[in-house]
Structure formats: structure tokens, C-alpha cells
A and B are shown apart, each in its own frame.
Chain A
């Protein structure tokens, strides 16, 4: 399953207009991620972690260079095509969970499947399976405001995983969690990575998260400072 480049970043530069000038968030980045990797972009604030993840997630596009995700060049995708890519192949986990407040846990997880027009019976099975992965099957009827931070993030993981995407992008997933919940959600994600072969890409500066990663790409001032491969990671840390 591994040794297949699922993400290929080639000479990617990203600039943002700031006032009359420009801010360069990414400078000529070259990276590849293999299918099934459990990798993280690490660096201080402003290092370009989130910008790179947004490009990989087809929420943004590079100013220069090519970002190939599942063989598709992000810059060349139409709005509809990038929406389809996100809907079918990419799951997102956000720092503040971004659960839809008026929906129940079940409905939040079901949302991505609704967009794929999956039949109701199959949807129910998939949603409950995803909720069981994160240990929240019994809370399916609760609204997000009744959940703790850890539970909320686990719902977000279930929502990202329910469609069994090839890539999950997790932007600072532990930023609002205590140590216990951080370890809990990381273990869950690691299990899903190993069991389903999903590629996980994190942005973080949390050392607890780094402890679970197979590979750490250090970014500083928009450039790759170090690409560190860490071997022999297990789920029992």
C-alpha cells in the first residue's frame, strides 16, 4: 500500500497580498507523501503549515508550482472538481472541530455521505461504524453543545473518516484539548491509519502529537527546514 506518492508538492510558492505588498507564506516547497503515511508539518506560527495543508486539501491553490493530490493538479481544478475531490477523497479535522451546531452527532457525521447521495440504509451503517471507531455510538443523538472538547474532536474525526477518504488533513487537532484527550484522539487516528491505510497529514507544534508521527516535516518561514523520518512508531505509546 505504501511507496505510492499520493501527494506531490513541486516547487510550490504561495504569496498573499498584504497592504500594497505581498507576504510569501511558502517558498519553493518540494515534498512527497506516500499512501498510508502518518506525517506532520511542524513549525512555529507563520511557518506555512496551515497554508500548505490548505493547498493539499484543495481549499487554496499555489501561486507558483504544482500540487498534485491523487494525481490531480490542484491549480487546474475547477470549483466543482475540487469540491468533488474533497467530498470523496479528503477528510478535514479542524482545531475548533467546526461541527455544525444545529445537527446531532449522527447528522454531523452523516453530512459528507449526504453529499455523495449514498442510500439511507448504507449511510446509517457507515455513520454508526464511524462513531464506533471513535467510541461515540451511544452519543449519536446529542447536539455538539452537549459534548466535551475531546468528544467534539472525536466526532470531527468520525466525520472526516466516515467516507473512508484516502487523505485526512488535521490542522492543529489537539490545540483545544488536554493531554488525556490528545492522546485518546491520536490513538484513534493512528488505529484508523493502520487499519484503513488512510494517509494522515497534521499541522502541529504540540509535542504530544509529534510523538505519534512517522514523519515530521519541519517548516520555518515558509521553507522546509528538515524532513525527518521516524521509524518504529506504534499505537501503544
Chain B
């Protein structure tokens, strides 16, 4: 085997440009595959982290009548927990409402949150510290959509528990920056105590956010969703993105492997005399097949080296500085930061190397198999078709 590597190395180096073209294409595939997966993994990590930090906490205890995907359940999907059940939970009450920025009506989700909470990164301290009658915080996307800024007063209309419309001025006390659209777009956050007063739903909550100390238990009319369940949608989106993206890089890999396959087919055909010479010098046919297979798989080793020379500094730079995402892409409804920091894990790199090396070995072996059936006499004459 050592001999096969020595000979394959000499043959590839001796083949010059043909070798480096194949290696170049394969190295490009290496870089693209690792880059794309690193980007997706980075996005995945960032999206999960931000979703937990801004929206999910350690989990959600939701009223069983409330369905986040059905706005008709907002009206009745709320309830009250006993005091001894409120430990380690932050209540959030959700109601539908409208605001009237610049005379236009805008439907919003009005959310009451405990101003003293520390589980989520929402800047609720601004609500606590404000002297406004009804202080509110909104996200940057919401502020941009409604053309609002800190200090603005705006008319808010909502319905109380009896269904009667009521209206009051709210004051925007802070505009926060977040990557999580589900706490930003179309949302207005006010202190829950104020909301209880406004709606007459004293101590009611649509759902609670749990902290890390919370111990889930069966509570009538309430259902608990842990982080894993809450992140399942996000995981599915990312998995789908990976699959769709993998088609692109598999195509790229296929082109690179096709180049190796073609080179091998051409080699077996053009190097017949060489093959005959190897056999006449005492190599077995399986040794020659092994030599040609090693030659093919060695492309992937060279590509790994070339890919490392180009890729390592590039990936290190990208992992440090991140990649800017266009503003339009943040309207997709999923957590997406302004800059995504790719994550190039050992598993990703080793997995990609194994994928490319194994694939290159297989596509090298397939044409090389012909050698085992080759007549050495005809090979020496170069007369095989």
C-alpha cells in the first residue's frame, strides 16, 4: 500500500496541469461545502440562541385554549394560575389591538409582560422605569413599519374582557434591536399590570415563560412546551434549508467527481502501455487497480491541502467578522441576524473530508476495475479499445 501511495504521488506530480486542474476543482468543492454548511450551522446556532434569549426562555406554559397559529384563540385562550404555581414563571397576556400612527390603522398584537422579568432579553426595565401613563416598548422592525420612535405618543385601541372597545395614548419608551421577528413585527409590549387594568383580566396570562429553575408539572388547562418543542419549527426550517442547499453543493461535488472519473477513464485508456509495463515488471493486476484508485483518491488529499491553504484563513476571517445579511432577508419571519457568524465545527470539516475522500475513491475505483480484466499483452501494445 505504501508503494501504491509513493507511485501514485509521483504519477500525479508528474502529470502536472491535469492533476492541478482536478485538485483545483475538488478544493473549490471542499471550500464551498464547508462554507455553506458552516453558514447554515452559524445561522442555526444564532437563531436558536436568539429565539431562546428573546422569546422562549427555558420553555412556555401555554393556556390549552391558545394556539399560536390561530388568532381566533387569542380572545379566550388565557387563564389564571394559583400563586404557588407562579414560581419561576413570567406571565404574558396577549390581546389584539390597533394603533393609529399618522392617522393610519395598524393591527398589532398587544402583549403585557411583567416589567420586572429577567428571563427574556426584552428591555422591560424601560417599562418599569418610565413615568408614562401607559409605557410601551417596540422592536426596530415595528418602529420602522409604523414610523415610530422613542418618545412618540400613539393612540391604542383594544377590547376589554366584556368586548367593549377602549382607547388610550401609549408612549414609546424604548425601541429595541432584535433578530427575532416574532417579538418585534406587529408587536407592542406594555407592563402586564397596566394591561390587567386596561382589560379587566386581573392576573390572567395567555402563556408563561419559564426560567431554568422551573419544574414542569401537569396543570389543568395548561400545557408545557420545552425548548426542544419550541425550536422544532426552526429546526425544520433549517433542515429544509440544508437540504435545498445541499443540492447545490452536491451538484458541485458531482462535477468535481466527474472530472476525476473522466481523468481515470482517460488514464486507463491512454496509459495502457504503462499498465502493461507495470504488469510485466511484476505488479499484480490488483496492485495496478490499487495504484490507479489511490491516484484518484489522492486528488482529494491534494485538494484537502490546497483547500486548507485557501480555506483556513478565509474561514477564520469569516468566523471572526461574520457575513452581512441583506436587510430584505430579515423579513422572512425567521430569526436572522444582520451578520451571521459561520460555525466551522470539527465534525463538519472531518465529515466533509470523509465524504469527498470516499466519493473520490469510489469514482476512481470504478474505471480502474477494468484493469483487472485487461490483457497485458494487448495493453503493452496499446491496442485495447
Q: Give residues in A with beta carbon < 8 Å to B.
A: 54, 57, 59-60, 79-80, 83-84, 86-88, 92, 94, 96, 98, 100-103, 107, 111-112, 114-116, 159
B9 → chain A closest CB, angstroms: 10
Tell me whether A84 and B282 are in contact (CB under 8 A). yes
In the complex, the answer to whether A98 meets B380 with C-beta atoms within 8 Å is yes
Contacts of A116 in B (CB 8 A): 282
| Least distance between B270 CB and chain A CB atoms (Å) | 11
| Cβ–Cβ contact B14 & A115, under 8 A | no
Q: Which of A59, A79, A80, A102 contacts B380 (CB 8 A)?
A: A59
By a CB distance below 8 angstroms, the chain B residues around A102 are 10-11, 13-15
**B285 nearest CB across to chain A (Å):** 6
Residues of A within 8 A of B7 (CB): 114
- Option from B10, B282, B376, B380 in Cβ contact (under 8 Å) with A94: B380
Give the contacting residue for B283; candidates A54, A60, A107, A115; CB below 8 A.
A115
- A101 contacts B14, CB within 8 Å? yes
Chain B: residues with Cβ within 8 Å of the partner, total of: 25
Pick the contact of A111 from B279, B281, B286 — CB < 8 Å? Answer: B281
Q: Which A residues touch B11, using CB under 8 A?
A: 102
Contacting pair A107 B10 (CB below 8 A): yes
Contacts of A114 in B (CB 8 A): 3, 6-7
CB contacts (< 8 Å) of A115 on chain B: these are: 3, 281-283
Interface membership of B280, Cβ < 8 A? yes
Residues of chain B within 8 A of A94, CB atoms compared: 277, 280, 380
Q: Check: B274 CB closer than 8 A to any chain A CB.
A: yes
Interface flag for B342 (CB, 8 Å): no
Establish whether residues B280 and A88, one from each chain, have CB atoms under 8 Å apart when the complex forms.
no
Chain B hits for A60, CB < 8 A: 375-377
Some 9 contacts from A to B, beta carbons below 8 A apart, are: A57-B280, A59-B377, A94-B277, A98-B273, A100-B274, A100-B277, A102-B15, A116-B282, A159-B281
Which chain B positions have C-beta within 8 A of A92? 280-281
* A54-B377, A98-B277, A102-B15 known; A83-B283 Cβ under 8 A: yes
CB within 8 Å of A: which residues of B? Answer: 3, 6-7, 10-11, 13-15, 273-274, 276-277, 279-287, 375-377, 380
Q: Which residues of B contact A98 (CB under 8 A)?
A: 273-274, 276-277, 280, 380
CB-based contact A83/B279 at 8 Å: yes
**Smallest Cβ-Cβ distance to B288: which chain A residue:** A83
Residues of A within 8 A of B273 (CB): 96, 98
What residues of chain A lie closer than 8 Å to B281, measured between beta carbons? 86-87, 92, 111-112, 115, 159
- CA–CA, A92 and B279, complex, Å: 11
Establish whether residues A59 and B279, one from each chain, have CB atoms under 8 Å apart when the complex forms. yes
Chain A minimum-CB-distance residue to B13: A102
Cβ of A86 and Cβ of B14 under 8 Å apart? no
Residues of A within 8 A of B15 (CB): 102
| Docked CA distance A86–B280 (Å) | 6
Q: Which residues of A contact B282 (CB under 8 A)?
A: 83-84, 86-88, 112, 115-116
Considering residues B277, B285, B287, which has the most beta carbons from chain A within 10 angstroms of its beta carbon?
A: B277
Q: A50 to B280, alpha carbons, bound, how many Å?
A: 14
Inter-chain contacts of A54 with B (CB < 8 A) = 377
Chain B residues with CB below 8 A from A87, complex form: 281-283
- Whole-angstrom distance between the alpha carbons of A46 and B11 in the complex? 35
Residues in A whose Cβ lies below 8 Å from that of B287: 83
The smallest C-beta distance from A5 to any residue of chain B, in angstroms, reads 23
A residues near B284, Cβ cutoff 8 Å: 79-80, 83
Chain B residues, CB < 8 A from A86: 279-282
Q: For residue A80, which residue of chain B has the nearest CB?
A: B284
Complex-state Cα separation, A117 to B286, whole angstroms: 17
Write the nearest CB–CB distance from B281 to chain A, whole angstroms: 5
Contacts of B277 in A (CB 8 A): 94, 98, 100
The chain B residue sitting closest to A107, CB to CB, is: B10
User: Which residues from B are CB-within-8-Å of A83?
Assistant: 279, 282-285, 287
What is the bound-complex CA distance between A216 and B211, given in angstroms?
100
7 closest residue pairs by CB, A with B: A87-B282, A102-B14, A83-B284, A98-B277, A92-B280, A86-B282, A59-B376
How far apart are the CA atoms of A59 and B276 in the complex, in Å? 9
In the complex, besides A79-B284, A112-B281, 16 extra interface pairs with C-beta distance below 8 angstroms are A57-B280, A59-B376, A59-B380, A60-B376, A79-B286, A83-B279, A83-B282, A86-B282, A92-B280, A92-B281, A98-B273, A100-B277, A102-B15, A103-B10, A111-B281, A159-B281
Considering the chains assembled together, what is the distance between the CA atoms of A217 and B377 in angstroms? Answer: 22
In Å, the complex CA distance between A80 and B284 comes to: 6
Query: CB-CB < 8 A to A112: which residues of B?
Result: 281-282
Q: B279 to chain A: which residues have CB within 8 Å?
A: 59, 83, 86
Q: Known contacts A80-B284, A115-B283; is A103 also within 8 Å of B14 by CB?
A: yes
Return the contact of B280 from the options A59, A84, A101 (Cβ within 8 A). Answer: A59
Question: Which B residues lie within 8 Å of A84 (CB)?
Answer: 282
Rounded to whole Å, the gap between the CB of A153 and the closest CB of chain B is: 14
C-alpha spacing A80/B287, complex, angstroms: 10
Taking the closest CB of chain A, its distance from the CB of B383, in whole angstroms, is: 12
CB < 8 Å: which of A79, A100, A159 contacts B285? Answer: A79
Give the complex CA separation of A57 and B286 in angstroms.
Answer: 19
A87 to B281, CA, bound (A): 6
B288 to chain A, nearest CB (A): 10
> In the complex, what residue of chain A is closest to B6 when comparing beta carbons?
A114
